[in-house]
Chains A and B, each alone.
Chain A
């Protein structure tokens, strides 16, 4: 059974269409990453699943239940972590955890204690004194303490320090081993690479690519920046070539050996080869494929 099935989802805010006919299927037990720059429609998709906003068209099913007509049952199965974590100011961490557990009508104290210990979150701290990272930790515990079947995590690790981030990834791995489904939204490719087996790229409300991570990685270019005069006319598989004030930059998805051989013919001062950022992948890799098709 699909853990999440989104079909023909459309949502507009005034004249701006945030989602165009979005179709997405998540199998039960898989970890799926939805990638896209800010404003791509990731949060709109998530908020539609949770019923926080009402889409104009399309259907959403969670474990076979219609998210609109069975909202309450659907939300009992979901643990949600918003991208920005806000809580009620004068409360303590433990009050928020009790409040969230009471809304789920569950005693989650054991799980909450274990998660707080692992994430080093003080349950007696006042919410209005928490740093961004600690608010994120509280949000994680609120999302996981009732042991949901589907985890929806919107930009989960922004603001977390590296140690806690690793601990969080370990928790996610354990949950996945228990058969939980994870739906992670991020603009950080590394975060998705670390956790997910499948990912989709969302751009301006359209899903422009959706595949296993291995397949997606195989199509990924490298960004090359060369300082010095070079002539790359003999080199194929170059995109977005730009030359300015002695600096040449381009996206390259050919053989690294051929690239080195080509560069070795010129008196270059410096060369930098790096993973292109997400925006570049969208604009020059997947967009060009879209254009070709």
Chain B
């Protein structure tokens, strides 16, 4: 576990700063809720007039005047994009940085297999994502208390769980990119994450594109569906995890056979 702890030590500062940023944004949003609740009729009218845009984000099926609806739209967006982009950054750089920072010669000349190094790094990435989500989860609970509302445990926990699983999938995909591509892995990872986000929006807008929901992990993070059914769309969770696992398997196989660049 030497590489695992080393990796956590190297990234702890970025993780805490990113987590604190997301936590502050969520708390700020939740503090605005009591004021917005008073203007609920106006807000619902605005959202219903947005047409396909509100459908894309699932806002047409949510009541922004309720805490859960407000949480799913506002905090859900921060979780989806903020968490997804962190997973992309952390996953996209965790392997490729060794070659880009010229530390590969140092690390890989020690008596530890490449596969073991990569598995330690993967575990460290998942731990980072978990800690980041715990920070944000507790911040959400604090924000709800500060807003003077009672905590809707099930809804908040399910939305947070969906976001965590989505970040695991994105982290896994970007980790694979990082192992397969030595340069520009971070840029490709950011691009892929944004593409997956917009694929989900597209699948909401066009019924012919619904099959995209099997590909993008953002499909099971929709607050509207989670609040309606009180659970996650596990079929999409499963398909996203299968895609990530396949990508990881291929990346591990390929990395153990590649030449490490100076």
Contacts and interface: CB of A to CB of B under 8 A. Distances in A.
A143 to B, nearest CB: 9
A49 to B, nearest CB: 10
Contacts of A139: 106
A88 B10 contact: yes
Contacts of A72: 111-113
B111 A75 contact: yes
B260 A80 contact: no
A51 B105 CA distance: 10
Interface stretch (B51-59, B96-104, B152-160, B220-228): B96-104
Interface string B251-262: 000000111101
A90 B10 contact: yes
Interface residues of B, number: 23
Given A72-B112, A103-B111, A87 B260 contact: no
A99 B6 contact: yes
A50 B109 contact: yes
B111 A142 contact: no
Interface residues of A, number: 32
Nearest to B258: A54
Interface string B61-73: 0000000000000
Contact of B113 (A53, A71, A78, A99): A71
Main secondary structure of the interface of B (DSSP, over half): loop
A87 B105 contact: no
A54 B109 contact: no
A103 B2 contact: yes
Nearest to B116: A72
Interface string A120-164: 000000000000000000010010000000000000000000000
Contacts of B13: 90
Nearest to A43: B262
A61 B3 CA distance: 27
B250 interface: no
A104 B109 CA distance: 10
Given A72-B112, A103-B2, A103-B111, A86 B259 contact: no
B110 interface: yes
Interface of B: 2-3, 6, 10, 13, 101-113, 257-260, 262
Interface of A: 43, 47, 50-54, 71-76, 78, 80, 82, 84-91, 99-100, 102-105, 139, 142
30 contacts: A47-B105, A47-B260, A47-B262, A50-B108, A50-B109, A52-B108, A52-B109, A52-B259, A53-B259, A71-B111, A73-B111, A75-B109, A75-B111, A76-B111, A80-B105, A82-B105, A82-B109, A84-B102, A86-B103, A86-B106, A88-B10, A89-B101, A91-B10, A100-B106, A100-B110, A103-B2, A103-B107, A103-B111, A139-B106, A142-B106
